[in-house]
A = this chain, B = another copy of it.
Amino acid sequence: MSMNGAAAVAFAKDHGDRFVEELKALLRIPSVSTDPARAGDTRRAAEFVAAELTRIGMENVHLIETSTEESMTAGASGPAQVVPARIGHPLVYAEWLHAPGKPTVLCYGHYDVQPAEPLDEWKSPPFEPTERDGNLYARGAVDDKGQMWMHVKALESLMVAGGGKLPINVRVIVEGEEEVGGEGIAAFVRDFGDQLHADVALVSDTEMFAPDLPTLCVGLRGMIYTEIEVQGARTDLHSGMYGGAAPNPFVALAQIIAQLKDAEGKILIPGFYDKVQAPSDAELAAWKLLPFDEEEYRHAEVGSVALTGESGYSVLERTWARPTLDVHGMPGGFIGAGAKTVIPARALAKVSLRLVPDMTPAESFRLYKEYVETLCPKGCTLEVRLIHSGDPIVVSTDNEFVRAATEAMHTVFGKETVFVRGGGSIPIVGDFTRELGLPVVMMGFGLPDDNLHAPNEKFHLANFHRGVESIVRWFGILSTLTALES
Q: Enumerate chain A interface residues (CB-CB to B < 8 A).
A: 34-36, 114-115, 117-118, 121, 179-181, 207, 221, 223, 225, 231-248, 250-251, 253-259, 261, 263, 265, 297, 301-310, 315, 318-319, 322, 324-344, 347, 349-350, 352, 354, 377-381, 387-388, 422-425, 448, 451-456
CA distance A221 to B243 in the complex (A): 11
CB <8 Å contact, A425 and B240:
yes
Contact of A244 with B339 at beta-carbon distance under 8 Å, contacts A263-B378, A380-B304 already known: no
CB <8 Å contact, A243 and B324:
yes
CB <8 Å contact, B245 and A341:
no
CB <8 Å contact, B334 and A339:
no
CB <8 Å contact, A329 and B308:
no
CB <8 Å contact, A328 and B344:
yes
**Nearest CB of B to A442, in Å:** 13
CB <8 Å contact, A233 and B422:
no
**Nearest CB of B to A310, in Å:** 7
**Nearest CB of B to A76, in Å:** 29
CB <8 Å contact, A258 and B247:
no
Chain B residues in 8 Å Cβ range of A117: 334, 336, 340
Partner of A334, one of B115, B233, B258: B115
Q: Nearest residue in B to A334 (C-beta to C-beta)? A: B329
**Nearest CB of B to A261, in Å:** 6
Contact of A319 with B241 at beta-carbon distance under 8 Å, contacts A246-B302, A302-B233 already known: yes
Partner of A245, one of B256, B307, B377: B307
Chain B residues in 8 Å Cβ range of A257: 250-251, 254-255, 258
Contact of A251 with B339 at beta-carbon distance under 8 Å, contacts A115-B334, A310-B244 already known: no
CB <8 Å contact, B328 and A233:
no
Partner of A330, one of B121, B221, B247, B333: B333
CA distance A246 to B302 in the complex (A): 6
Partner of A305, one of B114, B379, B424: B379
CB <8 Å contact, A328 and B341:
yes
Chain B residues in 8 Å Cβ range of A232: 304
CB <8 Å contact, B342 and A453:
yes
**Nearest CB of B to A228, in Å:** 11
Chain B residues in 8 Å Cβ range of A308: 245-248, 377-379
Partner of A243, one of B114, B247, B343, B423: B423
Chain B residues in 8 Å Cβ range of A380: 304-305
CB <8 Å contact, A236 and B453:
yes
18 more contacts with CB within 8 A, not counting A207-B241, A243-B423, A339-B352, are A35-B338, A36-B337, A117-B340, A121-B235, A233-B302, A234-B304, A235-B454, A237-B302, A238-B452, A241-B452, A242-B301, A242-B423, A244-B265, A248-B308, A248-B326, A250-B328, A328-B343, A331-B335
